[in-house]
Amino acid sequence: MTGGWAAKELTELGLRTLVLEAGRPIVPEQDYVEHKAPWEMPFRGLGDRRAIAARQPTQRNSVSFDELSHVFWTDDVDNPYSTPTDRPFHWFRARQVGGKSIIWSRQVYRWSDLDFEANLRDGIAVDWPIRYAEIARWYDHVERFIGVSGQAEGLAHLPDGPFLPPMDMNCVERHIRQRMQEHFGRERIMTIGRVANLTTQHNGRAPCHYCGPCQRGCITRSYFSSVNATLPAAHATGRLTLRPFSVVRGLLYDAGKNRITGVRIIDAQTKGEREYTAKIVFLCASALESARILLNSRVGNSSDQVGRNIMDHIKWGGGTGDFDGWSDRREIGERPNGIYVPRFRNVSSRHADFIRGYGFQGAAGRSGWGDALRSPGIGPAFKQRLSQLGPWSMSFWGFGEMLPRADNRATIHPTLVDRWGIPSLHIDCRWGENDLAIHRDMNVTAAELLEAAGATNIEHPNGPSTPGGTNHEMGTARMGRDPKTSVLNGWNQSWDVPNLFVTDGAAMTSSGCQNPSLTYMALTARACHHAVDLLKRHEL
Ligand SMILES: Cc1cc2nc3c(=O)[nH]c(=O)nc-3n(C[C@H](O)[C@H](O)[C@H](O)COP(=O)(O)OP(=O)(O)OC[C@H]3O[C@@H](n4cnc5c(N)ncnc54)[C@H](O)[C@@H]3O)c2cc1C
Ligand code: SF4
């Protein structure tokens, strides 16, 4: 995702740009499969469980992983990593042109100074070197290009953007929004998700037609991905060279000049080695992969912070409840979006048990035939049951902020290597006390919201999630104000080697509780413009 943004900005700014991608190319007309029906799948959507257990035992844990989308996830055997036996970490990866932007859930939320000032205020880790005012116009820049549908709510801690028309809430969601307003006023609000799916024609891409399984691609380019939007824009400049099947082995470093002179790659198909030279290098391989490249290259780590401070968002707290009524109502189509309850803990008052907070995502819906996919049954009674819609229920799923801690760390494994002989990572990461206190509170407040709206049969998920399981890997080459305690300056530029930029989630100094990719994209665009300014001034 961030690599696509770097390609677009750098080429549009006039630079001849080479994108090196470890995985295969993606041709939408051949590779996107969102319109295949369950009866066209040999395993009816569940996938070949034996084959998947053998090749993708980690990736299959993602909720978006299915029989057709599994081809967009990494092969775990070719790409191994290790963890301590008692501390699993789910590292979800996507090795192809477009990376995880093909399979992501497209929820996009701005950060505010509640987030950028948080470390300084709480005396945690290091201070962010930027504030909202410095990134606001880059959020605008990114949102205008990708297209974000959403509802402006005027919240200082969840700033609005130039939204496309919002998607509709369904009848039960509207009821719950109303009840929340009556009970909690502006303290706890529910809005429709802010999502990078188009609700109108936008930049030559068609509006979404609500078919549902975006994780399998989108032939109408109605959601944002690198393949659907940034790479075509970069290609249109005539200055992009995209080289798939190019596994970056390491960075080439000239100690005399203190510059990165290029990269060494291994051709994924032939296993032959090759070197490319460049004036500037942007690392956009995703937080943990970028840390792996830096550690294997032995550059940029005078602070000893590369690989440390791994963050994810803590999940699987919240609640689900049933609602009587609306039995004559059903949803038409598959809205690829849910609702959002912005953070309300530690915003205007302090919670006694934890700092920071969480937001809820979720949706209301009716159970139906889809539930039968995993339930046993046969015969007329079973079929009859499946032809009826069940009651309405509403779920709130929390996404909680994780604090950065130096001992949550990825290091190079002494012996384990990937299929191309490149040393793999050993990832040691666990939730801290504050993270777990946040997780416990999600169940309490989800129950409050559901009860206020009149729900019955309230149940809670079996959390917390396994670290990594929320797909929001961050923090392994953090930005900061001091080269002794951070890897990057306020422009995502390596303190140690000035022509090296790292603009994926590795740069994050704290994790907020909002889905983070919008911030990565904004930081990438900002860093590209800064790098080109430096080049023009002959300062790189
Ligand atoms: C199921 C799922 C749902 C998600 N939903 C959301 C959401 O709703 N909102 C949100 O904000 N975020 C979401 N995310 C996270 C989001 O996808 C990531 O934050 C985002 O894609 C990160 O962008 P990136 O550029 O850092 O990495 P990626 O998109 O993973 O791209 C990295 C690229 O680098 C390539 N690469 C890696 N190593 C090498 C190497 N050595 N040599 C060459 N190339 C290499 C990879 O093949 C890949 O193409 C979700 C993720 C998943 C998996
Ligand atoms: S739901 Fe919309 S964005 Fe998703 S695949 Fe279908 S048309 Fe594309």
Give the per-residue pLDDT at 528: 98
Predicted confidence band of residue 384 (pLDDT cuts 50, 70, 90):
confident
For ligand 1, whether the C-beta of 443 sits within 6 Å is no
Residues 221 and 228: beta-carbon distance below 8 Å: yes
**Lowest pLDDT segment from 13-22, 377-386, 409-418, 459-468:** 377-386
* CA-closest residue to ligand 1 atom 49: 99
**What is the rounded distance in angstroms from the CA atom of residue 67 to the CA atom of residue 64?**
10
Cα–Cα nearest to 286, from 476, 145, 125: 476
Q: Residue 101: CB within 6 Å of ligand 1? A: yes
C-alpha 100 – ligand 1 centre gap (Å): 4
Ligand 2 atom index nearest CA of 335: 1
Residue 238, number of CB atoms within 10 A of its CB: 8
Amino acid at 439: H
Residue 281, phi then psi, degrees to nearest 5? -125, 130
pLDDT score for 320: 98
Phi, psi of 108 (to 5 degrees): -135, 120
pLDDT exceeds 70 at position 373: no
- Contact 157/108 with Cβ under 8 angstroms? no
* Residue matched to tokens 């978006």: 64
Instruction: Using the atom order of ligand 1, give the atom closest to the CA of residue 504.
Output: 26
* CA of 192 relative to ligand 1 center, distance in Å: 24
Tens digit of pLDDT for each residue in 238-250? 999 999 999 999 9
Closest ligand 1 atom to Cα of 3: 25
Alpha-carbon distance of 364 to 391, in angstroms, equals 10
- Tell me how far CA of residue 311 lies from CA of 430, 461, 472, in angstroms: 9, 21, 7
With a 6 Å cutoff on the Cβ, whether 516 touches ligand 1 is: yes
346 within domain boundaries: yes
CB of 64 within 6 A of ligand 2: the answer is no
**Nearest CA-CA partner of 477 in 232, 287, 297, 334:** 287
Q: Please check the confidence at residue 30 and state whether its pLDDT lies above 90.
A: yes
Give the pLDDT confidence score for residue 127 in this predicted structure.
98
Instruction: Say which residue, 372 or 502, is predicted with more confidence.
Output: 502
Judged by DSSP in three states, 4 sits in helix
Q: Is residue 215 part of a domain?
A: no
CA distance 198 to 144: 11
Ligand of minimum distance to the alpha carbon of 108: 1
Instruction: Quick: pLDDT tens for 189-239.
Output: 999 999 999 999 999 999 999 999 999 999 999 999 999 999 999 999 999
Calculate how far, in angstroms, residue 197's C-alpha sits from the geometric centre of ligand 2: 7
Backbone dihedral region for residue 328 (phi beyond 0: left; psi -120 to 50: alpha; all else: beta): alpha
What average pLDDT does this structure show over 253-270?
A: 97
Res 378: pLDDT? 86
The single-letter DSSP state of residue 293 is H
For residue 238, is it within any domain? no
- What backbone torsions phi and psi does residue 241 show, to the nearest 5 degrees? -120, 125
Contact between residue 76 and residue 55 where contact means Cβ atoms under 8 Å apart: yes
- Pair of tokens at residue 128: 């962010």
The rounded Å distance from CA 233 to ligand 2 centre is 20
Mean pLDDT for all residues in the chain: 96
Higher-scoring residue by pLDDT: 38, 12 = 12
> Which three-class secondary structure state does DSSP give residue 283?
strand
Ligand 1 probe mutation, 20, 64, 65, 100, most atoms within 8 A of CB: 100
Is the pLDDT at 368 greater than 80, yes or no?
A: no
Q: Whose CA is nearest to atom 36 of ligand 1?
A: 285
How far does the centroid of ligand 2 lie from the alpha carbon of residue 272, in Å? 39
User: Which residue in the block uniquely carries the two structure tokens 């291994």?
Assistant: 266
- Cα(181) to ligand 2 centroid in Å equals 31
> Do the domain assignments include residue 460?
yes
Centre of ligand 1 to C-alpha 362, Å, is: 22
Predicted pLDDT at 37: 87
310, 410 contact by CB (below 8 A): yes
Cα(505) to centroid of ligand 1, in Å? 9
- Single out the residue of 125, 123, 190 nearest to residue 158, CA to CA: 190
Is the pLDDT confidence value at 107 over 90?
A: yes
- Token pair recorded at residue 193: 């998700």
How far is the CA of 246 from the CAs of 21, 270, 300, 389, 480, in angstroms?
Answer: 5, 10, 22, 49, 31
Q: pLDDT grade, residue 375 (50/70/90)? A: confident
Exposed/middle/buried for 269, CB within 10 Å: 0-12, 13-18, 19+? exposed
- 207 touches ligand 2 (CB under 6 Å): no
Say if 16 falls within a structural domain.
no
Looking at residues 509-513, what average pLDDT do you find? Answer: 98
Range of the domain at 367: 168-192+315-400+431-466
Using a cut of 0.95, tell me whether the model's pTM lies above it. Answer: yes
- Report the C-alpha gap between 105 and 518 in whole angstroms: 12
Counting ligands in written order, the one closest to the CA of 210 is 2
Kindly state the helix (H) or strand (E) to which residue 119 belongs, with its residue range. Answer: helix 118-122
Helix axes 433-452, 171-184, angle to 10 degrees: 100
Cβ of residue 62 lying under 6 Å from some atom of ligand 1: yes
190 torsion bin: left (phi>0), alpha (psi -120 to 50), beta (else): beta
Please determine, for residue 329, whether its predicted confidence score (pLDDT) is greater than 70.
yes
In the predicted model, is pLDDT for residue 385 greater than 70?
yes
Report which ligand 1 atom has the smallest distance to the Cα of 290.
38
Instruction: For residues 458 and 451, give the distance between their C-alpha atoms in angstroms, rounded to a whole number.
Output: 8
CB-based burial label for 160 (10 Å; 0-12, 13-18, 19+): middle
Question: Per-residue b/e over 21-50, b at no fewer than 16 CB within 10 Å?
Answer: bbbeebebeebbbbeeeeeeeeeebebeee
Q: Does pLDDT of 496 surpass 70?
A: yes
Mean pLDDT along residues 276-297: 98
Ligand 2 centroid, distance to 223 Cα (angstroms): 7
Are 283 and 503 in contact, with CB atoms under 8 Å apart? Answer: yes
Residue 254 CB partners (closer than 8 Å, separation 6+) = 260, 261
CA of 302 to the centre of ligand 2 (A): 45
Counting the structural domains of the chain, the total is 1
Closest CA to 247 of 233, 260, 265: 265
| Cβ of residue 211 lying under 6 Å from some atom of ligand 2 | yes
- 105 touches ligand 1 (CB under 6 Å): yes
> From the CB of 519, is ligand 1 less than 6 Å away?
no
Residue whose entry in the numeric block shows the structure tokens 């930027």: 130
CA–CA gap between residue 186 and residue 190 (Å, rounded): 10
Tell me what the mean pLDDT of segment 303-311 comes to.
Answer: 98
Is pLDDT above 70 for 351?
Answer: yes
Residue 80 falls within a domain, yes or no?
Answer: no
Pocket test for ligand 1, best of 286, 288, 399, 474 (most atoms within 8 A of CB): 286
What pLDDT does residue 372 have?
A: 67
Q: Is 223 in the pocket of ligand 2 (CB under 6 A)?
A: yes
Domain contains 444: yes
Q: What CA–CA distance (Å, rounded) separates 361 from 316?
A: 11
Contact 496, 483 (CB under 8 A): yes
Buried b (16+ CB within 10 A) or exposed e, 208-234: beebebbbbbbbbbbbbbbbbbbbbbb
Residue 371 has pLDDT above 80, yes or no: no
Question: Which helix or strand (DSSP H or E) is residue 246 part of?
Answer: strand 246-254
Domain annotation covers residue 40: no
